[in-house]
Chains A and B, each alone.
Chain A
Amino acid sequence: MRELNDAAAADGVYFQYRGYFSQPMIEQSIGQLGMRAQADKLDSAAHRRLINAFIEVSQNIVHYSCDALTEAAAKDDEIRFGSIEICEAGGAFLINSSNPVGEDDARRLNERLTALVELDQAALKAQYHQALNAESEPQSKGGGIGFLRLARGSSAKLQFSFVDVPVDPEIKIFNLTVTVQKP
Chain B
Amino acid sequence: MTDILIPATYSTPLVDFRFSEHRLALRGEAYPENALAFFSPLTEALAAYLARGATAPILMSFQLRYMNSASIKMIFQLVKMLEQVSEAGRGVSVEFENDPDDEMAGDFAEDLADAFPTLALRLAPAV
Q: Which residues in A have some Cβ–Cβ distance to B below 8 Å?
A: 23, 26-27, 30-31, 43-45, 48-49, 51-52, 55-56, 59, 62, 75-78, 128-129, 132-133, 136, 141-146, 149, 152-153
Contacts and interface: CB of A to CB of B under 8 A. Distances in A.
Interface residues of B, number: 28
B33 A76 contact: yes
Given A44-B101, A128-B111, A129-B111, A143 B37 contact: no
Interface in B4-43: 10-11, 31-37
Interface string B62-74: 0001111110111
Interface of B: 10-11, 31-37, 65-70, 72-74, 76, 99, 101-104, 107, 111, 114-115
Contacts of B66: 30, 48, 51-52, 55
A9 to B, nearest CB: 27
Given A132-B115, A149-B72, A45 B101 contact: yes
Nearest to A143: B73
